[in-house]
Structure 1
Amino acid sequence: MTFALPESVLVIVHTSDLQVLLLLRVGRRGWWQSVTGAREACDATLRDTAHRELLEETGIDAGSLQAWHWVNRYTIWPAWRHRYAPDVTHNVEHTFSALVPARCAVRLSPAEHERYVWMPWRDAIARCLSPTNREALRLLPRRAAR
Protein backbone atom coordinates (compact mmCIF):
# COMPACT_ATOMS: atom_id res chain seq x y z
CA MET A 1 0.00 0.00 0.00
CA THR A 2 1.19 3.49 -0.83
CA PHE A 3 0.55 5.90 2.02
CA ALA A 4 -0.52 9.51 1.55
CA LEU A 5 2.12 12.15 2.12
CA PRO A 6 1.38 14.27 5.21
CA GLU A 7 1.41 17.47 3.15
CA SER A 8 -1.69 18.85 1.47
CA VAL A 9 -3.33 21.85 -0.14
CA LEU A 10 -6.52 23.75 0.56
CA VAL A 11 -7.86 25.68 -2.43
CA ILE A 12 -10.55 28.32 -1.91
CA VAL A 13 -12.42 28.77 -5.22
CA HIS A 14 -14.19 32.12 -5.44
CA THR A 15 -15.57 34.83 -7.71
CA SER A 16 -14.61 38.51 -7.54
CA ASP A 17 -17.73 39.22 -5.43
CA LEU A 18 -16.59 36.46 -3.01
CA GLN A 19 -19.05 33.73 -3.90
CA VAL A 20 -17.31 30.56 -2.70
CA LEU A 21 -17.50 27.00 -4.00
CA LEU A 22 -18.08 24.28 -1.39
CA LEU A 23 -18.10 20.51 -1.97
CA LEU A 24 -19.93 17.84 0.05
CA ARG A 25 -17.86 14.72 0.78
CA VAL A 26 -19.32 11.39 -0.31
CA GLY A 27 -20.80 9.47 2.61
CA ARG A 28 -19.96 12.20 5.12
CA ARG A 29 -23.19 13.90 6.11
CA GLY A 30 -22.61 17.62 6.58
CA TRP A 31 -18.93 17.44 5.61
CA TRP A 32 -18.70 20.53 3.39
CA GLN A 33 -15.29 21.79 2.34
CA SER A 34 -13.25 23.64 -0.22
CA VAL A 35 -10.99 21.73 -2.60
CA THR A 36 -8.39 19.76 -0.67
CA GLY A 37 -5.88 17.07 -1.40
CA ALA A 38 -2.59 15.48 -0.55
CA ARG A 39 0.63 16.13 -2.36
CA GLU A 40 1.65 13.21 -4.57
CA ALA A 41 5.07 12.09 -5.71
CA CYS A 42 4.22 13.24 -9.25
CA ASP A 43 3.72 16.85 -8.08
CA ALA A 44 6.87 18.92 -8.58
CA THR A 45 5.51 21.81 -6.51
CA LEU A 46 2.65 22.60 -4.16
CA ARG A 47 1.16 24.75 -6.93
CA ASP A 48 1.11 21.59 -9.07
CA THR A 49 -0.75 19.81 -6.27
CA ALA A 50 -3.29 22.63 -6.01
CA HIS A 51 -3.83 22.71 -9.76
CA ARG A 52 -4.18 18.91 -9.98
CA GLU A 53 -6.65 18.74 -7.09
CA LEU A 54 -8.71 21.62 -8.44
CA LEU A 55 -8.96 19.94 -11.84
CA GLU A 56 -9.67 16.46 -10.40
CA GLU A 57 -12.32 17.59 -7.91
CA THR A 58 -14.13 20.27 -9.95
CA GLY A 59 -13.03 20.20 -13.58
CA ILE A 60 -11.93 23.84 -13.19
CA ASP A 61 -8.62 24.59 -14.88
CA ALA A 62 -7.72 27.80 -13.05
CA GLY A 63 -4.89 29.91 -14.33
CA SER A 64 -5.32 32.41 -11.49
CA LEU A 65 -4.13 30.18 -8.67
CA GLN A 66 -2.66 32.25 -5.83
CA ALA A 67 -0.37 30.85 -3.16
CA TRP A 68 -1.18 32.44 0.18
CA HIS A 69 2.03 31.36 1.92
CA TRP A 70 -0.19 30.48 4.87
CA VAL A 71 0.44 27.05 6.38
CA ASN A 72 -1.42 25.05 9.01
CA ARG A 73 -0.21 21.99 10.89
CA TYR A 74 -2.92 19.87 12.43
CA THR A 75 -3.66 16.43 13.83
CA ILE A 76 -5.02 14.11 11.14
CA TRP A 77 -8.61 13.22 11.94
CA PRO A 78 -9.21 9.56 12.85
CA ALA A 79 -11.48 9.09 9.80
CA TRP A 80 -8.46 9.71 7.52
CA ARG A 81 -5.61 8.24 9.59
CA HIS A 82 -5.66 4.91 7.67
CA ARG A 83 -4.39 6.73 4.56
CA TYR A 84 -1.08 7.59 6.22
CA ALA A 85 1.86 5.56 7.49
CA PRO A 86 1.23 4.20 11.00
CA ASP A 87 3.59 6.69 12.70
CA VAL A 88 2.13 9.76 10.95
CA THR A 89 -0.27 11.79 13.11
CA HIS A 90 -0.02 15.34 11.68
CA ASN A 91 -0.48 17.00 8.32
CA VAL A 92 0.87 20.28 6.92
CA GLU A 93 -1.68 22.16 4.81
CA HIS A 94 -0.77 24.93 2.33
CA THR A 95 -3.47 27.40 1.32
CA PHE A 96 -4.24 28.66 -2.19
CA SER A 97 -7.12 30.48 -3.81
CA ALA A 98 -8.49 30.33 -7.33
CA LEU A 99 -10.38 33.29 -8.74
CA VAL A 100 -12.94 32.29 -11.38
CA PRO A 101 -14.82 34.80 -13.57
CA ALA A 102 -18.29 33.66 -12.44
CA ARG A 103 -20.09 30.89 -10.62
CA CYS A 104 -19.96 27.91 -12.93
CA ALA A 105 -21.08 24.32 -13.21
CA VAL A 106 -18.66 21.91 -11.61
CA ARG A 107 -17.67 18.40 -12.67
CA LEU A 108 -17.45 16.51 -9.39
CA SER A 109 -15.20 13.54 -8.76
CA PRO A 110 -17.91 10.99 -7.83
CA ALA A 111 -15.58 9.03 -5.56
CA GLU A 112 -14.96 12.15 -3.45
CA HIS A 113 -17.91 14.55 -3.59
CA GLU A 114 -21.64 14.23 -4.15
CA ARG A 115 -22.81 17.85 -4.34
CA TYR A 116 -21.55 21.38 -4.69
CA VAL A 117 -22.89 24.80 -3.88
CA TRP A 118 -21.85 28.40 -4.50
CA MET A 119 -22.55 30.77 -1.62
CA PRO A 120 -21.35 34.04 -0.05
CA TRP A 121 -18.10 33.61 1.87
CA ARG A 122 -19.68 34.45 5.24
CA ASP A 123 -22.30 31.71 4.79
CA ALA A 124 -19.59 29.26 3.70
CA ILE A 125 -17.75 29.76 7.00
CA ALA A 126 -20.71 28.37 8.93
CA ARG A 127 -21.06 25.39 6.61
CA CYS A 128 -17.44 24.18 6.55
CA LEU A 129 -16.44 21.46 8.97
CA SER A 130 -12.68 22.01 8.97
CA PRO A 131 -11.36 24.73 11.30
CA THR A 132 -8.53 25.59 8.88
CA ASN A 133 -11.01 25.89 6.02
CA ARG A 134 -13.21 28.22 8.11
CA GLU A 135 -10.20 30.37 9.02
CA ALA A 136 -9.10 30.60 5.38
CA LEU A 137 -12.60 31.77 4.44
CA ARG A 138 -12.41 34.46 7.13
CA LEU A 139 -9.16 35.66 5.56
CA LEU A 140 -10.49 35.56 1.98
CA PRO A 141 -11.71 39.20 1.70
CA ARG A 142 -8.26 40.54 2.64
CA ARG A 143 -6.45 38.03 0.39
CA ALA A 144 -8.73 38.69 -2.57
CA ALA A 145 -8.19 42.45 -2.26
CA ARG A 146 -4.45 42.07 -2.90
Structure 2
Amino acid sequence: MYKLPVSVLVVIHTSVLDVLLLERADHPGYWQSVTGSQHEGETLRQTAQREIQEETGLNPYDYPLSDWETEYRFEIFKEWRWRYSPDITHNTEHVFSLCLPEKKPIVTAPKEHLNYLWLPWHQAADRVFSWSNAEAIRNLPQHLTETNNFSLSPI
Protein backbone atom coordinates (compact mmCIF):
# COMPACT_ATOMS: atom_id res chain seq x y z
CA MET A 1 0.00 0.00 0.00
CA TYR A 2 1.32 3.42 -0.94
CA LYS A 3 1.76 6.31 1.48
CA LEU A 4 -0.51 9.32 1.16
CA PRO A 5 1.38 12.48 0.08
CA VAL A 6 0.15 14.27 3.21
CA SER A 7 2.25 14.32 6.36
CA VAL A 8 2.78 16.02 9.69
CA LEU A 9 5.86 17.65 11.16
CA VAL A 10 5.76 17.89 14.96
CA VAL A 11 8.30 20.14 16.66
CA ILE A 12 8.59 18.81 20.21
CA HIS A 13 10.05 21.40 22.56
CA THR A 14 10.34 22.42 26.19
CA SER A 15 9.06 25.63 27.70
CA VAL A 16 12.61 27.06 27.44
CA LEU A 17 12.73 26.10 23.73
CA ASP A 18 15.00 23.10 23.77
CA VAL A 19 13.94 21.08 20.72
CA LEU A 20 13.93 17.31 20.34
CA LEU A 21 15.68 15.91 17.27
CA LEU A 22 15.73 12.32 16.03
CA GLU A 23 18.46 10.73 13.89
CA ARG A 24 17.09 8.76 10.93
CA ALA A 25 17.97 5.06 10.86
CA ASP A 26 17.96 4.99 7.05
CA HIS A 27 20.29 8.01 6.90
CA PRO A 28 22.68 8.26 9.87
CA GLY A 29 23.57 11.91 10.42
CA TYR A 30 20.18 13.15 9.16
CA TRP A 31 18.38 14.78 12.08
CA GLN A 32 14.73 15.77 12.13
CA SER A 33 11.66 16.43 14.24
CA VAL A 34 8.86 13.89 14.45
CA THR A 35 7.36 13.36 10.98
CA GLY A 36 5.00 10.92 9.38
CA SER A 37 2.41 10.32 6.70
CA GLN A 38 -1.29 10.53 7.32
CA HIS A 39 -3.16 7.22 7.24
CA GLU A 40 -6.45 6.88 5.40
CA GLY A 41 -9.30 8.14 7.59
CA GLU A 42 -7.09 9.96 10.12
CA THR A 43 -7.36 13.63 10.93
CA LEU A 44 -4.07 15.54 10.88
CA ARG A 45 -4.22 15.82 14.69
CA GLN A 46 -4.61 12.04 14.97
CA THR A 47 -1.64 11.57 12.64
CA ALA A 48 0.46 13.89 14.81
CA GLN A 49 -0.58 12.07 17.99
CA ARG A 50 0.16 8.64 16.51
CA GLU A 51 3.56 9.70 15.18
CA ILE A 52 4.56 11.28 18.51
CA GLN A 53 3.76 8.06 20.35
CA GLU A 54 5.38 5.78 17.74
CA GLU A 55 8.59 7.78 17.34
CA THR A 56 9.22 8.98 20.91
CA GLY A 57 7.25 6.81 23.34
CA LEU A 58 5.71 10.01 24.76
CA ASN A 59 1.99 10.09 25.45
CA PRO A 60 0.81 12.94 23.20
CA TYR A 61 -2.34 13.41 25.30
CA ASP A 62 -0.28 14.47 28.33
CA TYR A 63 1.00 17.71 26.76
CA PRO A 64 -0.39 20.65 24.74
CA LEU A 65 -0.40 19.88 21.01
CA SER A 66 -0.69 22.97 18.82
CA ASP A 67 -1.82 22.91 15.17
CA TRP A 68 0.00 25.81 13.52
CA GLU A 69 -2.38 25.73 10.55
CA THR A 70 0.76 25.99 8.43
CA GLU A 71 1.71 23.73 5.58
CA TYR A 72 4.73 23.25 3.36
CA ARG A 73 4.68 21.64 -0.06
CA PHE A 74 7.87 20.10 -1.32
CA GLU A 75 9.24 17.60 -3.78
CA ILE A 76 9.71 14.14 -2.28
CA PHE A 77 13.34 13.01 -2.36
CA LYS A 78 13.73 10.58 -5.27
CA GLU A 79 15.14 7.87 -3.00
CA TRP A 80 11.87 7.83 -1.02
CA ARG A 81 9.38 8.08 -3.90
CA TRP A 82 8.94 4.29 -4.11
CA ARG A 83 6.79 4.62 -0.99
CA TYR A 84 4.20 6.64 -2.96
CA SER A 85 2.02 6.01 -5.98
CA PRO A 86 4.13 6.33 -9.17
CA ASP A 87 2.41 9.59 -10.20
CA ILE A 88 3.21 11.33 -6.86
CA THR A 89 6.21 13.65 -6.73
CA HIS A 90 5.23 16.17 -4.02
CA ASN A 91 4.11 16.05 -0.40
CA THR A 92 2.14 18.50 1.73
CA GLU A 93 3.42 18.70 5.30
CA HIS A 94 1.32 20.17 8.15
CA VAL A 95 3.10 21.70 11.15
CA PHE A 96 2.32 21.00 14.79
CA SER A 97 4.21 21.52 18.02
CA LEU A 98 4.12 19.73 21.36
CA CYS A 99 5.27 21.56 24.48
CA LEU A 100 6.82 19.60 27.35
CA PRO A 101 7.57 21.19 30.74
CA GLU A 102 11.13 19.82 30.58
CA LYS A 103 13.35 17.47 28.58
CA LYS A 104 12.10 13.90 28.78
CA PRO A 105 13.82 10.60 28.01
CA ILE A 106 12.76 9.32 24.61
CA VAL A 107 12.18 5.76 23.43
CA THR A 108 12.94 5.82 19.71
CA ALA A 109 11.45 3.41 17.19
CA PRO A 110 14.54 1.33 16.27
CA LYS A 111 13.53 0.83 12.63
CA GLU A 112 13.09 4.60 12.21
CA HIS A 113 15.62 6.32 14.47
CA LEU A 114 19.07 5.63 15.86
CA ASN A 115 19.29 8.31 18.51
CA TYR A 116 17.81 11.51 19.88
CA LEU A 117 19.10 14.75 21.31
CA TRP A 118 17.78 17.97 22.78
CA LEU A 119 19.21 21.24 21.47
CA PRO A 120 18.37 24.93 21.94
CA TRP A 121 15.98 25.91 19.13
CA HIS A 122 18.50 27.93 17.09
CA GLN A 123 21.03 25.05 17.13
CA ALA A 124 18.29 22.53 16.30
CA ALA A 125 17.26 24.61 13.27
CA ASP A 126 20.84 24.47 12.00
CA ARG A 127 21.12 20.69 12.56
CA VAL A 128 18.06 19.38 10.69
CA PHE A 129 18.43 18.31 7.05
CA SER A 130 15.02 19.47 5.83
CA TRP A 131 14.40 23.11 4.91
CA SER A 132 10.78 22.90 6.08
CA ASN A 133 11.83 21.48 9.45
CA ALA A 134 14.46 24.23 9.84
CA GLU A 135 11.91 26.91 8.99
CA ALA A 136 9.36 25.54 11.46
CA ILE A 137 11.96 25.47 14.25
CA ARG A 138 13.08 29.02 13.40
CA ASN A 139 9.43 30.11 13.60
CA LEU A 140 8.88 28.43 16.97
CA PRO A 141 9.60 31.46 19.21
CA GLN A 142 7.35 33.70 17.11
CA HIS A 143 4.59 31.10 16.93
CA LEU A 144 4.55 30.71 20.71
CA THR A 145 4.49 34.45 21.27
CA GLU A 146 1.63 34.90 18.78
CA THR A 147 -0.44 32.11 20.33
CA ASN A 148 0.15 33.58 23.81
CA ASN A 149 1.44 30.28 25.13
CA PHE A 150 4.07 32.19 27.07
CA SER A 151 6.43 35.10 26.69
CA LEU A 152 10.02 34.44 25.79
CA SER A 153 13.08 35.92 27.36
CA PRO A 154 15.96 36.92 25.11
CA ILE A 155 18.58 34.32 24.17
TM interval, shorter chain, is over 0.9
Does residue 62 of structure 1 match 2:44?
Answer: no
- Counterpart in the other structure of 1:22: 21
Across the two proteins, how many residue pairs are aligned to each other? 144
CA–CA distance in 2 between the matches of 1:127 and 1:107?
Answer: 21
- Counterpart in the other structure of 2:151: none
Does residue 38 of structure 1 match 2:3?
Answer: no
SS in 1 for 2:85: coil
For residues 46-104 of structure 1, the C-alpha deviation after alignment (integer angstroms, 9 at most, x for no partner) is 00000000000001112311000000111001121010000000000000000011101
Please, what is the CA RMSD of the aligned residues? 0.8
Return structure 1 stretches of 4+ with deviation > 4 angstroms: none
Q: What is the 5 A alignment of 1:106-145?
A: 106-145=106-145
CA–CA distance in 2 between the matches of 1:23 and 1:144?
Answer: 22
Percent identity reads 47
CA–CA distance in 2 between the matches of 1:144 and 1:55?
Answer: 23
CA–CA distance in 2 between the matches of 1:42 and 1:24?
Answer: 29
Structure 1 residues without counterparts, runs of 5 or longer:
none
Contact conserved, 1:54 with 1:60, CA < 8 A, in 2?
yes
CA–CA distance in 2 between the matches of 1:56 and 1:29?
Answer: 19
CA–CA distance in 1 between the matches of 2:136 and 2:33?
Answer: 10
Distance verdict in 2 for CA 1:125–1:54, change over 3 Å: same
Structure 2 residues without counterparts, runs of 5 or longer:
148-155
Contact conserved, 1:62 with 1:100, CA < 8 A, in 2?
no
